[in-house]
């Protein structure tokens, strides 16, 4: 199979491309290297069946041309990371909606299957956990930038299902919950690489708010496995799936665990949200996926423990010399 991976030089995209190649598929990566990087795929350049294009998924003719050369697509290219979203809301909305429209339009010509990456952010600030795919979405007001990301990804999902119903494009939407692993960078605010870097450098571990907010962290390899099973499933077509882990931890517990796994003596400090982000920032109190639908359709259950996830991130950062070799 030939697969177009938009955002293929990004965190999830590079792992997915690697796995596709390993199982004998051909991969065409499209990435503008905005948050992704060539370093993530350098080891794949020159491998049999691997091609990459540095360009934007907002480039409609380019997306159309690449789509014509493949059998299906995984659309991961998007503006991601809470910090980026809060700082550049215009870019976020335009990129996320425009790119998805291009991908779906191109796929509709020959009804190429598309897996569209979405996010747990679409559930918004609902406190009724776990979140099931058919639940209502509870977004905050339009005056708060954060929710523009959730809204742009929800619109991507609506667009995908519209293309499915009206034009017969076989689409599957995947809502990734907090996904972690090697190659994720802390620069855009993601908590695990941030905490691990701080711990390895002996700097204060910055817990935002009171730290009692919860998340469930899944390993990127598990997210890739679940996505590939969904891409290959006819039953999944026309549906949306949660993908992640359902082990819930508070951010305070995460900070303690990172300290423990790194053996760090860093102090854990609380940083008010207004200082970490911007005035009026709204966080989600809890975020837990209901994984029943994913398991029913694919048989998949997350396999990697949070301890293992942290250890993988620690090993990667240490190998890059963070905190000394």
Enumerate binding residues for ligand UDP (CB under 6 A).
82, 178, 189-191, 194, 206-208, 213, 215, 251, 283
Q: With respect to ligand UDP, which residue has the nearer C-beta, 44 or 310?
A: 310
Give the three-state DSSP class for 108: helix
Task: Indicate which residue of 123, 149, 188, 277 is catalytic.
Answer: 149
And the tokens for 145? 């930038």
Helices assigned H by DSSP within the chain = 11-22, 60-68, 82-87, 89-109, 146-167, 191-201, 220-231, 251-262, 273-276, 292-298, 306-319
Is 188 labeled as catalytic in the residue annotation? Answer: no
Closest by CA position to 113, among listed 66, 60, 71:
71
In the complex, what is the shortest distance from the CB of residue 195 to ligand UDP, in angstroms, rounded to a whole number?
Answer: 6
The vertex-192 CA angle with 186 and 193, nearest 5°, equals 35
Strand partners, 138: 124
* Nearer to ligand UDP among residue 75 and residue 286 (C-beta): 286
Sign of CA pseudo-dihedral 3, 7, 12, 14: positive
Q: Which residue in 68, 74, 91 sits closest to 15, CA to CA?
A: 74
- Based on CB atoms, which residue is closest to ligand UDP, 56 or 184? 184
The pair of three-digit structure tokens given for residue 34, joined into one six-digit string: 């905005």
CB 168, min distance to ligand UDP, A:
34
Q: Could you tell me which residues are beta bridge partners of residue 30?
A: 6, 53
Residue 153, helix vs strand vs coil: helix
Instruction: Give 251-293 as a DSSP string.
Output: HHHHHHHHHHHHT--PPEEEE-HHHHS-TT----S---B--HH
- The verdict on whether omega for the bond into residue 146 sits within 30 degrees of 0, i.e. cis, is no
Evaluate whether 252 touches 215 at the Cβ level (below 8 Å): no
* Active-site residue list: 149
């Amino acid at each position: 199979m030939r697969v177009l991976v938009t955002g293929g030089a990004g965190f999830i995209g590079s792992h997915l491309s690697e796995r596709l190649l390993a199982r004998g598929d051909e991969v065409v990566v499209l990435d503008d290297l905005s948050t992704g990087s060539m370093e993530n795929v350098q080891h794949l350049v020159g491998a049999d069946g691997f091609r990459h294009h540095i360009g934007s998924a907002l480039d409609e003719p380019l997306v159309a041309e690449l789509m014509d050369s493949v059998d299906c697509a995984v659309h991961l290219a998007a503006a991601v990371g809470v910090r980026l979203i809060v700082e550049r809301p215009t870019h976020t909305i335009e990129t996320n909606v425009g790119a998805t429209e291009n991908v779906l339009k191109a796929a509709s010509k020959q009804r190429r299957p598309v897996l569209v990456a979405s996010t747990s952010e679409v559930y918004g600030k609902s406190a009724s956990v776990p979140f099931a795919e058919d639940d209502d979405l509870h977004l905050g007001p339009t005056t708060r930038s954060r929710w523009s990301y959730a809204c742009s990804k929800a619109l991507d999902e609506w667009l995908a299902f519209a293309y499915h119903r009206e034009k017969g494009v076989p689409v599957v939407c995947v809502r990734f919950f907090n996904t972690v692993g090697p190659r994720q960078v802390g620069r855009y605010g993601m908590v695990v690489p941030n905490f691990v870097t701080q711990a390895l450098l002996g700097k204060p571990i910055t817990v935002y708010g009171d730290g009692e907010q919860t998340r469930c962290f899944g390993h990127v390899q598990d997210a890739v496995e679940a996505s590939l099973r969904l891409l290959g499933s006819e039953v999944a077509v026309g549906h949306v799936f949660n993908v992640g882990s359902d082990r819930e931890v508070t951010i305070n517990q995460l900070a303690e665990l990172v300290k423990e796994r790194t053996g760090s003596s860093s102090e854990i400090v609380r940083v008010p949200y207004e200082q970490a982000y911007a005035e009026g920032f709204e966080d989600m109190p809890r975020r837990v996926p209901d994984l029943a639908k994913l398991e029913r359709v694919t048989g998949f259950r997350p396999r990697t423990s949070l301890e293992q996830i942290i250890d993988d991130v620690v090993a990667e950062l240490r190998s890059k010399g963070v905190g000394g070799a």
